Amino acid sequence: MDTKIRQKVESHLREAELKLTPQRFAILDFLVGSDVHPTAEQISEGVNRRFPRASRATIYNTLKALRDAGVVQEVYLGEGAARYEANLAPHHHFVCRACGKLEDVSSEAVGALPPCELGAGYAVETFEVVLRGVCAACAAKRERRKRRR
């Protein structure tokens, strides 16, 4: 494992006051090195290609612990399984209607939400935005198809 990533992972675990177990290293390392927002199932497959193996319970326990520690984000899009990522920069998501790809969108790109009127007494602390549409690659494909006609 890349030493730099290993150190990053280690500091995350320490920060979260979690024991530094090989399983946790493996899971968090896998997530740090992934940009596809894998499901628990995919994380399990990826991690278990090599030593150390992690049981299903450990995969779920670890993901939950890391989520609670604010080290990973859990994303629900209603496609069955939750998806995970280790992107710590505040961000939102874009889902392509055509290819289904899930991409991160930086918080800055979305900008601040206009102060919303929720009635007196409401305190909004965070917000998540899911943008839906067609990604550049799919849009280009469509354009080409159109031109061919």
Partner DNA sequence: TCTTAATTTAGACTTATTCTAATTTAAAGT
Partner DNA sequence: ACTTTAAATTAGAATAAGTCTAAATTAAGA
Q: How many residues in the shown chain lie near its own copies by CB under 8 A? A: 38
Closest distance between DNA and the C-beta of residue 17, in Å?
8
Q: Which of 90, 78, 72, 95 is nearest to 126 (CA)?
A: 90
Q: Is 40 in the site for DNA (CB under 7 A)?
A: yes
19, 50, 57, 122: residue in contact with its own copies (rule CB under 8 A): 122
According to the binding rule CB under 8 A, does residue 102 interact with its own copies?
no
Member of 113, 146, 147, 149 binding its own copies (CB under 8 A): 113
CB 126, min distance to its own copies, A: 5
Measure Cα distances from 41 to 1, 47, 57, 108, 110 in Å: 22, 10, 11, 31, 30
- The angle subtended at Cα 31 by Cα 27 and Cα 36, nearest 5°, is 140
- Helix or strand or coil: residue 94? strand
136 binds its own copies (CB under 8 A): yes
User: Interaction with its own copies in 52-81: which residues (CB under 8 A)?
Assistant: 74, 76-78
Can you say how many angstroms the Cα of residue 109 is from the centroid of all Cα atoms in its chain?
17
The nearer residue to its own copies, 3 or 119, going by C-beta atoms, is 119
Residue of 23, 3, 25 lying closest to 14 (CA atoms): 25
The residues that bridge with 73 in the sheet, in sequence order, are 85
Q: Which is nearer to DNA, 55 or 106 (CB)?
A: 55
Interacting residue ranges for DNA, rule: CB under 7 A = 18-24, 39-41, 52-58, 60-62, 64-65, 80-82
